[in-house]
Amino acid sequence: MVRIQILWLLAMLLALSPPLSAQQDGKKLEGDGYLFAYFEGKGDRLKQEQLRFAVSADAIHWYALNGNEPVIPSAGISKTGGIRDPHILRGEEGASYYMVATDMFTAKDGWGSNPGIVLMRSDDLLSWKHRAIDLAETYPEKFNDVKWVWAPQTIYDPSVGKHLVYFTVRFHKDERLDFYAAYANAEFNGFEDEPKLLFSPKYGGIDGDIVYKDGLYHLFFKGNTKDDSGKEIQNGIQQATSRSLWGPWKEDFRYVDAYADTSVVVEGSSVFKLNGKDEYLLMYDLYTNGRYEFQRTTDLFQFTAKPESFQKNFRPRHGSVIAINKEEARRLHGKWGGVPPALLQPADGDDRYTFLSKGNPIITHHYTADPAALVQGDTLWLYTGHDAAGGQKGYKMKDWLVFSTTDMKTWTEYPVPLKIEDFKWAKSGDAYAGHVVERNGKYYWYISTNWSGIGVAVADRPEGPFHDALGRPLLTNDDCFDSSHSWACIDPAVFIDDDGQAWIFWGNRECYYAKLKENMVELDGPVARLKFDDFDFTEAPWIHKRQGKYYLSYATGFPEKIAYAVADRIDGPYVYKGILNEIAGNSNTNHQAIVEFKGNSYFIYHNGGIQPDGGSYSRSVCIDRLFYEADGTLKRVLMTSEGIE
């Protein structure tokens, strides 16, 4: 008899305790960033109650995808034409995603009643199968009198290997707000059975969110306190706990949010774990104040007293968050755009990010400037400067970036190949324009650092990594003998002639040039200054050669245009030929690279075209075709939004 009781007790413990895989959810779901599913709280009310996505690399700074437009129109997935309170969940196996939402369109129908919820399932976060479930129609015996079916959420129940969908229900003839639940079928487009009562808080509750940790389920919900007459005297975020999803639930009547003792009201609580940390955020919607805030916890019982705010470019209403990895973030960006660069940019090793250019600018997830291009076989390598952020008020550039393409449409980004900190002598801390050339199987990157001089980095592969080849600058302001300003020694451009002689051009206001030795890291003779009639030089020299003629293009005036001159010798004399490219939109500077690739000539430049935060200090690289007249002169470049077709 004793043995039977022991076996029965063990069986009960196994039933109440999720298996190891579920207990390790925190580790299994670690990611590189976060995806936030929400509906919008501002703008046209008829457009607010629709599903939207946002992404964050750190869970604090959030960026709306798709320009904060709906990722899936509500009219196609709901009965009412609206959805609220979306909850997103990663499947236990990691290959599927589940989402549920309230089927309700208050902007059109008001708050009188809503029929049910929407179930959605996806294998890639991009395409979603969906079905709306009307409880009154599907289960008339129990739910014929249902008034509200609110804020559904999903959790995997390892004791039965199924997804449990739970939500708040209120009936027309009963003012109680209780939580009901049912297991979804395998297709996640319906319930296996009629929903049953899951938890009945003493004073009712809405917006439930269940989180599992250390053998205990925590149910967070918006609850309230009433006096003896039944009048509500307080409300806020409460929690109940249980060893089993079906209870019994132990209700804790204290409030965990920071606003319960104030006039500020909150709802839509949702808890998610931070990647790589034993820390959780309890976030909630301050719906009358237009804010979204959070408090921190490590044990799901004690929370930080002071709420913190999210930084975001949208105004979310009740939503939820899951961890995502870089692959998922890149998929999301490919379809809707808006993912922050930290989740797109390769970090190290063999990680790569491949994307399609959709016209100009060709790169929209970074602010890029000062392009230089190198053609090797069937690959064009693009090297750029990197403006640190959008909306900058000055030049903040700390590293350089590298991309490649074989068709001018599909681009591959590589880990950051070079940083200004790699040049210990560069006290300016400024990563200005550069140029890469290949010689004898080595790749040499000539970079400028504002007033610290021009340096050289070297690598064995075009994508790097590069390292300082000299430990000191190759050129400094001392080499700019006709200049008096501190930023004269910038914008290097290197050209290796047909006879093998390498040349370097550089400068600001005055244009200098010199020969380079075979080793590419020493000058081979004196520095000279380039002069010719009508040469109004600002910066950004570039040399290319065609049919025995040398073409010198450069930035002229300010705001800058690109002009060009032609010579029979690389060191001149040059003859001015005119303007090649007009002022690049929304940018005071311009900086060009000219290359021939697979039979076509290309003009690569930058503008300030990324909106809304592009500008003279937050620039973006573009590419358009370059054409020659029959006499060898250059046609003026037509800058386009379409770019390379």
Catalytic residue annotation: 370, 539
Structure tokens at 149: 């079916």
Contacts of 345 (CB under 8 A, 6+ apart): 353, 365, 366, 413, 415, 416
Handedness of CA 626, 630, 632, 633 (dihedral sign): negative
> How many alpha carbons fall within 13 Å on the CB side of residue 140?
1
SS3 142: helix
Residue ranges of alpha helices (H) inside 129-199 are: 135-138, 140-143
Furthest CA-CA distance within the chain? 109
Cα 123 to Cα 89, 101, 382, 411, 415, distances in angstroms = 12, 18, 34, 25, 28
Cα 579 to Cα 78, 509, 601, distances in angstroms = 57, 17, 17
d(CA 513, CA 500): 16
SS3 276: coil
- Whether the link from the prior residue into 465 is cis, omega within 30° of 0, is yes
Q: How many CB atoms lie within 10 A of CB 175?
A: 10
Question: Which residue(s) pair with 387 in the sheet?
Answer: 367, 397
d(CA 474, CA 380): 27
d(CA 283, CA 317): 11
**Contact, 550 vs 541, CB < 8 A?**
no
SS3 533: coil
Contacts of 105 (CB under 8 A, 6+ apart): 49, 74, 78, 80, 81, 82
Indicate the DSSP class of residue 461. Answer: S
What's phi and psi for 602, nearest 5 deg? -130, 145
**Contact, 530 vs 574, CB < 8 A?**
yes
d(CA 53, CA 108): 23
SS3 107: helix
H-helix or E-strand containing 158?
none
d(CA 62, CA 5): 53
Could you please report the per-residue DSSP string of 203-247?
T--EEEEEEEETTEEEEEEEEEEE-TTS-EEEEEEEEEEESSTT-
Strands 467-468, 493-496: pairing is unpaired
What's phi and psi for 626, nearest 5 deg? -120, 135
Map tokens 């129609």 to a residue: 137
Q: Where are the beta strands (DSSP E) in 414-547?
A: 418-419, 434-439, 442-448, 454-459, 467-468, 493-496, 502-506, 511-516, 528-530, 539-546
Cα 445 to Cα 27, 425, 464, distances in angstroms = 41, 16, 10
